[in-house]
A = this chain, B = another copy of it.
Amino acid sequence: MGMVVVGSVAIDDVITPFGKNFNALGGSATYFSICASNFTRVRLIAVVGEDFPKKYLKLFDRKNIDAKGLQIKKGKTFRWKGRYGWDLDNPQTLKTQLNLFKDFKPVLPEDYKDEDILFLANIDPELQLDVLRQSKSKIIAADTMNFWIEHKRRSLIEVLKRIDILIINEYEARQLTKESNLLKAARRIISWGTKKVVIKKGEDGVLFVSKKVFFSCPAYLMEDVLDPTGAGDTFAGGFLGYLAKNQKLDDRTIKKALIYGTIMSSFTVEDYDIKSLKKQNKQSIENRFKKFKRLCTF
């Protein structure tokens, strides 16, 4: 019942209409693993530089995240700077400094290879293929982004042939398939080989599609969203974390997993970076889950 995530650990500078949050802990694998650690054992594969603050390594440790696969190299950690508009959606990238991430070569330690679930967070699809060749996980999920859809489409389609679950946002789904209807977009992706597709729609909830079924789930409504950075990776962490914990893939389990993903990302967006997410525990998660269930039970 363990999970491996391959992705980025980064330092983010984020500007929102409400303020600035510079030098914050960020990266897809960061949000994913801090979130998923509430559900299951997580093993992290990423790269950082010697400039990476020790306190964050301690945080991973405190969260029982196995960071044996986190390479610490001479050089600088990946940095991202972005700005959100009033819609608090789709940020504008102001600066990307790949630094050590440019030459990132993910290597799965021997005892990582058999973990139940592998999550390939948003990285170059050629690296995703490389990790796929190393892994023997039973369930493989992946994310991607507009840049790879545009520039590495062929490799990405190769990835899609080999994975079980694709977790992307609505813009990526439309861009990838050239379909505006999300149900059709999901079916197109499934025709390429991926078994299940999860489409994240931000404050409009999430859509799940497999060959046999589809269902949708509204978002957890919030009056105050402070910083949406990491919401999608947090969703993936809650969704896959719940699946890893329960070792099942039936409809009922998947629906509950969608809700846990939704709940977890509601924590992420209510404060800057991981400030709220890192404070959550089984009790606070269960409380919000129950509240949400009450709100959307008919």
Contact = CB atoms under 8 A, between A and B. Distances in A.
Interface of A: 86-88, 180-184, 187, 201, 203-205, 207, 213-219, 221-225, 255-256, 259, 293, 295-298
26 contacts: A86-B180, A87-B180, A181-B222, A181-B223, A181-B225, A182-B203, A183-B221, A187-B223, A204-B205, A205-B216, A207-B221, A213-B295, A214-B221, A214-B295, A215-B295, A215-B296, A216-B218, A216-B221, A216-B295, A216-B296, A217-B218, A217-B298, A255-B298, A256-B298, A259-B298, A296-B298
B296 A296 contact: yes
A22 to B, nearest CB: 24
Contacts of A187: 223
Given A182-B203, A207-B221, A214-B295, 14 more contacts: A87-B180, A181-B224, A182-B221, A187-B223, A205-B205, A205-B218, A213-B295, A216-B219, A216-B221, A216-B296, A255-B297, A256-B298, A259-B298, A297-B297
The count of identical subunits is 2
A298 B297 contact: yes
Sort A-B residue pairs by CB-CB distance and give the 3 closest, nearest first.
A204-B204, A216-B218, A215-B295
Contacts of A213: 295
Contacts of A214: 221, 295
A182 B37 CA distance: 32
A14 B142 CA distance: 41
A219 B183 CA distance: 12
* Highest count of chain B CB atoms <10 Å: which of A180, A187, A214, A256: A180
Contacts of A296: 215-217, 296, 298
Given A259-B298, A298-B259, A298-B293, A184 B216 contact: no
A270 to B, nearest CB: 13
Contacts of A216: 205, 218-219, 221, 295-296
Contacts of A207: 221
* Highest count of chain B CB atoms <10 Å: which of A201, A203, A224: A203
Nearest to A184: B223
A224 B223 CA distance: 33
Nearest to A183: B223
Contact of A204 (B87, B201, B298): B201
* Highest count of chain B CB atoms <10 Å: which of A86, A183, A216, A219: A216
A87 B181 CA distance: 8
Contacts of A218: 205, 216-218
A259 to B, nearest CB: 6
B86 A222 contact: no
A180 B17 CA distance: 12
A40 to B, nearest CB: 20
